[in-house]
Structure 1
Amino acid sequence: MAGLLATLTLVPLAVAAWRDVAARLIPDQATLCIAALGIGLRAAEGLDALLASLATAAALFLLLAWAHARGAIGGGDVKLAAAIALGLPPLATGHFLILTALAGGVLAAGYLLGAALLPRPAPLRPSAGLLRRILAVEHRRVRRKGPLPYGVAIAIGAAFVHLQPLGG
């Protein structure tokens, strides 16, 4: 059961990451789904496990809300990270944060490299498909050194922790 809930979490994580790339928005529905799955996962392990995760998620939310108030992180990223923490033991939440930071560093390096190396994109045809339009917009964002879709790094950190448990 726990493995199934953890695996099911990958679907809304993918949705959140994709929407963050496409529109720099993380859908509340994906975040709520992750939170509900996480609560179910931790509740199945007992009340103490659930309470520990609730406390950890609340502390993470407050810390990231403080960072958001200073413009360091987006509001959707705050909610997504806290929702993920609901489904993890406190130690695994620490691993999640470290893996997210590492994934964010790789993402940032890719964006810096892309901004330096990518040529100017060709104009889009009106018949261009959704994926082509999203890629073109992302290409422009990279060249203009726009904000990173940090939800991607958050989703990668969470997926890694869910697929490769590192401890409880």
Structure 2
Amino acid sequence: MDSGMISLGLMAVLGLLMIAAAISDLRSRTISNELNAAMALLAIPFWVATGLSLWPDIPIQFGAAFAVFLVFAGLFAIGAMGGGDVKMIGAVMLWVPLPLFLPMLTVMAVGGGILSAVMLVRMKMRPSDKPVEVPYGVAIAAAGLWALHQQYLNQFQAIA
């Protein structure tokens, strides 16, 4: 089997894992460590299949993803993000090419903002004593799927 088919298969698995995480976050406001670990660990064979070099490409990819993880861990520390969401962001960023880091984070922020607005409207329509918990895994999954599409599945890249 050639590396192109392997990388497409791994991307399909990542897509399914992100969708499963989003559904889990919607239902229970949790994302399991197993889902996040699977996303992170599958990045390694993906790097090999896509031809990232052992030095310096893989350390740069890992370091950039880890830097994003640390920023969101800081948000977790102040109570602005859930732990599963932070781990999911770190795992997904392992797959995203460096030029798409900021665009993906922008798509994620816009999606998260829309999701937050929907949750606030829902809270106003159905008042509750519970605090509003935004299932941010949905925004992370949507942005991750967008980023993978932009890099690997967008047949119009040559035009832009």
Q: TM-score range by the shorter chain?
A: 0.7 to 0.9
Q: Distance in 2 between matches of 1:91 and 1:4?
A: 23
CA RMSD of aligned residues (A): 2.1
Confirm or deny: 8 A CA contact 1:12 1:34 kept in the other structure: yes
Q: Which has the larger radius of gyration?
A: 1
1:133 aligned partner: none
The AA in structure 2 aligned to 1:73 is M
1:58 aligned partner: 66
Confirm or deny: 8 A CA contact 1:20 1:152 kept in the other structure: yes
Q: 1:158 aligns with which of 136, 140, 144?
A: 144
- 1:49/1:2 CA distance change after superposition, 3 Å: farther
> In the TM superposition, what is the alpha-carbon distance from 1:62 to its structure 2 partner?
1.2
Deviates more, 1:19-28 or 1:87-96: 87-96
1:88 aligned partner: 96
2:84 aligned partner: 76
Specify the SS of the correspondent of 1:9: helix
Give ranges in structure 2 of 5+ residues lacking alignment: 1-5
Q: Distance in 2 between matches of 1:70 and 1:114?
A: 25
The AA in structure 2 aligned to 1:93 is F
2:118 aligned partner: 110
Q: Distance in 2 between matches of 1:82 and 1:62?
A: 8
Confirm or deny: 8 A CA contact 1:61 1:78 kept in the other structure: yes
Runs of 4 or more consecutive aligned structure 1 residues displaced over 6 Å after TM superposition: none
Q: Distance in 2 between matches of 1:96 and 1:50?
A: 19
2:17 aligned partner: 12
Q: Distance in 2 between matches of 1:104 and 1:110?
A: 10
> In the TM superposition, what is the alpha-carbon distance from 1:93 to its structure 2 partner?
2.2
> In the TM superposition, what is the alpha-carbon distance from 1:42 to its structure 2 partner?
1.9
> In the TM superposition, what is the alpha-carbon distance from 1:164 to its structure 2 partner?
2.6
Confirm or deny: 8 A CA contact 1:53 1:89 kept in the other structure: yes
Q: Distance in 1 between matches of 2:61 and 2:119?
A: 33
Give ranges in structure 1 of 5+ residues lacking alignment: 121-139
> In the TM superposition, what is the alpha-carbon distance from 1:157 to its structure 2 partner?
0.6
- Length, aligned pairs only: 145
> In the TM superposition, what is the alpha-carbon distance from 1:43 to its structure 2 partner?
2.8
Q: Distance in 1 between matches of 2:104 and 2:45?
A: 19
Confirm or deny: 8 A CA contact 1:16 1:26 kept in the other structure: yes
TM-score using structure 1 length: 0.77
